[in-house]
Chain A
Amino acid sequence: MRISRTLFAATLAAAVVAPAAAQDRTGVTETTIKIGVPAPLTGPNASFGAAAYGIQAYYNYVNEKGGVHGRKIELILADHACNEAKGVAVAKKLISQDQVFLINGGICSGVALAMRPVIEEAGVPWVVSTAVNQKISAPLAKNIFHASQTSEAAGHGLARFVLSKEGTRKIGVIAHTNEWSRGYRDPMVAYLKDKGLSPAIEVTLERGQSDATAQVLRLKEAGLDFVVAILYEPEIVVFLRDAHKLGLNVPKLGSLGADYVNTEKRLGSREPMQGFYQIFQYKDLIDGPGMKNARAIIEPRLPPGEKLTDFSFYGPGSAVAIVHVLDKIGRDLTREKFIAEMEQLKDFDTGMIAGKLSYSPTNHQGATQLYTVGYDDTGKIVVFEAWGKKAQL
């Protein structure tokens, strides 16, 4: 009897709660849709905040065009300074205090990983724009979507490009030891393993180190065919400088996390860039014809003083997808409809992200295409599909 009563009460509660949950319109008013963007706007990794300003620029563009079905996007930029604890606090603030409809962003993988349990539990839709670690969106969470290439896709991309150079057998890896770096390294090594290979040598270069002599000499001594460098911006410069100085004359491939053109500027010379390639997440070089439209939208709407860099486009592609989905849903907007419509998105061209976004109820990692950027034989920076093969953009 007691069990029956409990069951009855539970059924009644579910009946009362379910309709409300099925029509969650938090963050939506007659005239606005509130979207939260967590990002590192201050601190040592604030350069990645450019992605958030790119997102902001795109939503400004949408608002200038009248918004989505008469609703303007109300954006809340929330600074987490690339710090895990702050990231969790920011996620809670956006969800509970600001009551956003959805979260768009996620820059700094470690922070995004820390935010995941909070956002997953809250059930707020989250379209990850920039943080690459595949564990942010896998195992699958109903409300979390990756709209940038994950580090798993990037890791596979690294391995594919390296192996596309004929005769590559001995591969060396230089990487940080953090979660971001492992996000690339582990899938790359798994891909190589499938091909019967494993790195001949792995060395680390930690953040803040200003010398890579020991690492370069060890890589050089190993007699490698290719070196994969999974390093952030300052350290990739240190590595390339010392590799050039000490004669590590093998092709090198960098992960996402640094800007190719800026790397050369920081090195102050093209010579260390010879033989250096970097995987690339966009449709085209940012000054190329394939990104002309995106540039026209983003560049004039960046905040005063904000310079256009590669990272300016590492975010707004996800906003393009969000706006497309919001548009498809129409005026009757709920979180459930948003999630359902995201899962239906197929072969969607953002005009920025390489390839097309495709999701399903069992796959929330929609971006898989990656290119590689580097100098060709004529000394021009071009986008490659594989070793020696230019991409047909």
Chain B
Amino acid sequence: MLAQLVVSGIAQGALYALVALAMTVVYRATTVINFGQGDFVMAGAFAVYVLVVLAGAPFVVSAVLALALLFGIGWAIYAGLIRPIVAGPHLALAMMAVAVGYALRGVARVVWGREVLPFPRVLPQGSFTVGPVILSASDLVVAGGVIVAVAVLGLVFYATPLGKTAQAIFQSERGAALIGINVAAFQGAMWGVAAAMGALGGILIAPITLLYPDLAASILIRGFAAMTLGGFGSFPGAAIGGVMLGVSELLVGAYVSSTLIDITAYLVIIGVLLIRPSGLFGRPIAVRV
């Protein structure tokens, strides 16, 4: 049972990691925690649903279009709603992110509020046994997707000039602007990337959870918990935090009580903030005041 729980927990945690990674992208670019990220996941999933089911487009084309669409939405949200208040307090930025998320959810509810839709079966079906563990093909796809996402983000942010740009903006937007970096464009692009990652998450999550406007509500808090556990701003931390949270939930559910699964994320947040506020891989940072 233990091996199965760990493996299934990794697959589940990969979903949380994907949300945490996207939140980390925004955080590293703008120091804002995007509490609307869960709704980017939902919006991305619905975008694919509309393109595949209603417009009849091939899945791969739909997925690419959905990623592009969400990239645009993310950028537009930054340009129209975040940028004008970016000099304000963090609380206002966080509240704007929450409001944007709820607005996206509200739009989805207007159209699909009365439906729990089956998502197109885009992930490979079937499962196979490895020793005592049963693995589904979709688990492997999700976990693989997260590994690729971590690798790409790690490469971009740690081994390219783009990463240095991000670091410069993260440390001082004004300083970055003084040396010629187009801060607004960069931050807009990062919001776009995060939204596109949300779409990727939606494509991977919706086949498992079904498709409805509130599908990502519980994923968001788990993504945030993963980010907290891994350390704010750390990509490996977000990924490992997500996986650890996924495994913890299942172990707690199996060996302690299934009632606690739902609050594991909150317990993690409380524990980390009390014991190690910077998380496993984060570094203490000075926050703009």
Q: A residues engaging B (CB < 8 A)?
A: 41-44, 46-47, 49-50, 177, 203-211, 213-215, 217-218, 221, 233-234, 237-238, 241, 245-247, 262, 265-269
Contact = CB atoms under 8 A, between A and B. Distances in A.
Interface in B127-147: 127, 134, 136
A215 B253 contact: yes
Contact of A245 (B121, B127, B219): B127
B284 interface: no
A42 B113 contact: yes
A245 B113 contact: no
B142 to A, nearest CB: 11
B113 A43 contact: yes
A266 B15 contact: no
Nearest to A201: B258
B118 A205 contact: no
A266 B207 CA distance: 9
Contacts of A177: 259
B262 A206 contact: yes
Contacts of A50: 114
A213 B8 contact: yes
Given A211-B250, A213-B8, A218 B109 contact: no
B39 interface: no
B8 A44 contact: no
Nearest to A266: B118
Interface string B244-280: 0010011111100111011000000000000000000
A215 B258 CA distance: 7
A238 B209 contact: yes
Nearest to B250: A214
B28 to A, nearest CB: 27
Nearest to A264: B118
Nearest to A220: B1
A218 B5 CA distance: 11
Contacts of A241: 208
18 contacts: A44-B109, A46-B109, A46-B114, A49-B114, A206-B262, A207-B218, A208-B217, A209-B261, A213-B9, A213-B12, A217-B1, A234-B209, A241-B208, A266-B118, A266-B210, A267-B118, A268-B118, A269-B125
A205 B217 CA distance: 16
Given A46-B114, A203-B258, A204-B258, A214 B249 contact: yes
A218 B254 contact: yes
B21 to A, nearest CB: 18
A246 B4 contact: yes
Contacts of A208: 214, 217-218
Interface centre among A42, A44, A204 (most CB of B within 10 A): A44
A266 B136 CA distance: 17
B40 interface: no
B205 A210 contact: yes
A44 B212 contact: yes
Contacts of B262: 206, 209
B116 interface: yes
A211 B8 contact: yes
Contacts of B115: 47
B8 to A, nearest CB: 4
B213 interface: yes
Contacts of A41: 114
A205 B218 CA distance: 13
A268 B210 CA distance: 10
Contacts of B125: 268-269
Contacts of A44: 109, 113, 212-214
Interface in B7-44: 8-9, 12, 15
- By Cβ-Cβ distance, the 7 closest A-B pairs, closest first, are A214-B253, A208-B218, A213-B8, A46-B114, A214-B254, A203-B258, A206-B262
B259 A204 contact: yes
Nearest to B1: A217
Interface centre among B4, B109, B114, B257 (most CB of A within 10 A): B114
B207 to A, nearest CB: 8
A48 to B, nearest CB: 9
Nearest to B254: A214
A45 B9 CA distance: 28
Given A211-B208, A214-B258, 8 more contacts: A43-B113, A44-B214, A46-B114, A203-B258, A213-B9, A234-B212, A245-B127, A266-B210
A245 B5 CA distance: 13
B110 to A, nearest CB: 8
A74 to B, nearest CB: 24
